[in-house]
DNA sequence: TCCGTCATATAACATATGTGAGTGCGAGGC
DNA sequence: GCCTCGCACTCACATATGTTATATGACGGA
């Protein structure tokens, strides 16, 4: 019930038995709420539990001494924001709530038990972290080789698709509550340039972005501009 | 014997039992050699085995239609270059041999058996892919928020450390057989700018780079310039 | 021995993106 | 009803990095 978004996500990649769904449900020790602009996990922590996002938006980020910040991932409902801390132990980055977040807490002892008793479920959790990695690689190529405009288009395509697959798209519109400063920290741009790039995408008739509501006006051209192909999101249903 | 580099690497992160070492040894179906500039795995493949690098250098890369290329990872001895294909199934990028590579081949059926029978070993393999992810995140922040010079310094620090931990550093010198074009594709720079940046690091007395031999002349200042802290490489020995 | 190839190195010039400063608007607090 | 404050937006200007072209030397093949 609570963790529906995760089950939904995993079931797009492989079949889950009823038993496995029950185990996932049972792995949750409690549900908590984190306010916007608060850390869900701090850099340097050695957490003993992982956080599954039920609702809201979160970002993984690193901060430099001079205050510059880079966001390395945006998370939406159904994402495990720090599943990797189960094995990595020390958090090498922080996780920030961009909006109020409802979070299911999964103790690492439960994850350890799953790895001991449920190989198939273990592989699916592993898969989850592998998809994170695939997204990181895609972001790397976008940062390295796309223009700022193309990068932004690519980012918008990805977020739309990811929200759509967990049922959070309404037609061609999604709620994407990111400020332009946050977008800049995500794409590695200054806020000024983020603004320029958004103007351009709007002027070209590709998107509309009013408040948090982002509407894709021309999906085909947006994909072309962003050189976006969604294979890396691994949305195929396969036996894993 | 053959897979020593992997055992070496895993043992830096956690204790391996003799049984586990034996299982890892036995997972290898054969050893093959790939020539320089040949693909180890092609983008789009659905491999049924994964490749463990015993010797040589390899790169994961994506290519755009217009020929631009981005390298998303550099792999050295002891790295599993495509362990993720076990669960991701389709390769969303290619893996290229930068030098002649000696490779241990591990069938996915063996990996599946390990996940079924050896939970601790499974966690360590999972950990391996998580460290890949941590490196990706670090590269993202370096690309997004460091100057070209700092980025290069950071990259050099990382590669030195990674080679050192598998016994491939000779004092302050490593063999790093990357062309400036390949460096550009790795850091998201033009070859011209790669050259400028290397000149600068040399002029500052931070490195010497002659042929493949890269010597770090001033480790402290290089780390400072590259804002390098190695926590993300997870070199601590912990129970996982 | 000569020739093509590939990598490094430079130069002159073009441009995408950053910087610093400032405006205006809307939401929320008191 | 006024006052912040955050956020989107603009402008003028600075600069890091890309582009195109060329020179040079090392190397291997014919």
d(CA A36, CA A156): 22
- Interatomic CA–C1' length for residue B199 and nucleotide C1, angstroms: 35
Tokens of A36: 């916007």
Contacts of B88 in chain A (CB under 8 A): 127, 130-131, 134, 234
- β-partners of residue A188 are none
Inter-chain CB proximity B87 and A130 less than 8 Å: yes
**CB-based contact B219:B146 (threshold 8 Å):** no
Which of chain C's bases lie under 7 Å from a protein CB?
Answer: 6-12, 16-21
Tens digit of pLDDT at every position of chain B (240 positions): 556 778 888 998 999 999 999 999 999 999 999 999 999 999 999 999 999 999 999 999 999 988 899 999 999 999 999 999 999 999 999 999 999 999 999 999 999 999 999 999 999 999 999 999 999 999 999 999 999 999 999 999 999 999 999 899 999 999 999 999 999 999 999 999 999 999 999 999 999 999 999 999 999 999 999 999 999 999 999 999
For an interface test with B, give the residue of A42, A94, A116, A140 to mutate (most B CBs within 10 A).
Answer: A140
Tokens of A51: 């956080």
Residue A187, chain B, CB below 8 Å: the answer is: yes
Nucleotides of chain D in contact with protein CB (under 7 A) are: 6-12, 16-21
What domains are defined for chain A?
Answer: 4-118 (2.60.120.10), 138-233 (1.10.10.10)
Is the distance between the Cβ of B196 and the closest atom of strand C smaller than 7 Å? yes
User: Could you check: is the Cβ of residue B90 within 7 Å of any atom of nucleic acid strand D?
Assistant: no
List the structure tokens of A147: 């223009």
Q: What confidence score (pLDDT) does residue B3 get?
A: 60
Contact A176/B at CB under 8 A: no
For residues B154 and B232, the answer to whether their CB atoms sit within 8 Å is: no
Q: What's the rounded Cα separation, in Å, for the pair A27 and A9?
A: 17
A166: helix, strand or coil: coil
Give burial (CB, 10 Å; 0-12/13-18/19+) of B30.
Answer: exposed
| Residue B163 host element (H or E) | helix B148-165
Give the DSSP H or E segment for A95.
strand A94-97
Alpha helices (runs of H) in chain A, residue ranges in sequence order? 4-13, 18-26, 85-88, 108-117, 119-145, 148-165, 180-187, 191-203, 219-225
* DSSP summary character for residue A232: G
Distance CA A99, CA B177 (A): 46
Give A 195-214 residues with CB within 8 A of chain B. Answer: none
pTM for this entry: 0.96
């Amino acid at each position: 019930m609570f963790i529906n978004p995760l089950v939904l996500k995993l079931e797009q990649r492989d079949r889950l038995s009823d038993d496995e769904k029950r185990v996932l449900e049972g792995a949750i020790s409690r549900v908590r709420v984190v306010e916007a602009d608060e850390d869900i996990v701090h850099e340097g922590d050695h957490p003993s539990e992982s956080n599954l996002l039920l609702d809201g938006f979160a970002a993984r980020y690193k901060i430099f001494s001079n205050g510059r910040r880079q966001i390395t991932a945006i998370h939406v409902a159904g994402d495990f924001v720090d599943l990797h801390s189960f094995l990595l132990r020390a958090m090498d980055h922080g996780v920030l709530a961009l909006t109020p977040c409802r979070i299911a807490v999964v103790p690492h002892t439960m994850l350890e038990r799953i790895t001991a008793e449920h190989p198939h479920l273990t592989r699916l959790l592993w898969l989850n972290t592998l998809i994170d990695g695939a997204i990181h690689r895609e972001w790397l190529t976008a940062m390295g080789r796309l223009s700022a405009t193309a990068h932004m288009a690519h980012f918008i395509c990805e977020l739309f698709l990811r929200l759509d697959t967990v049922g959070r798209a309404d037609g061609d519109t999604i709620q994407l509550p990111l400020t332009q400063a946050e977008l800049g920290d995500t794409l590695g741009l200054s806020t000024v340039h983020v603004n320029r790039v958004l103007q351009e995408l709007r002027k070209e008739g590709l998107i509309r972005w009013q408040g948090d509501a982002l509407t894709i006006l021309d999906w085909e051209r947006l994909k072309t501009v962003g050189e976006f192909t969604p294979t890396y999101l691994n949305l195929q249903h396969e036996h894993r």
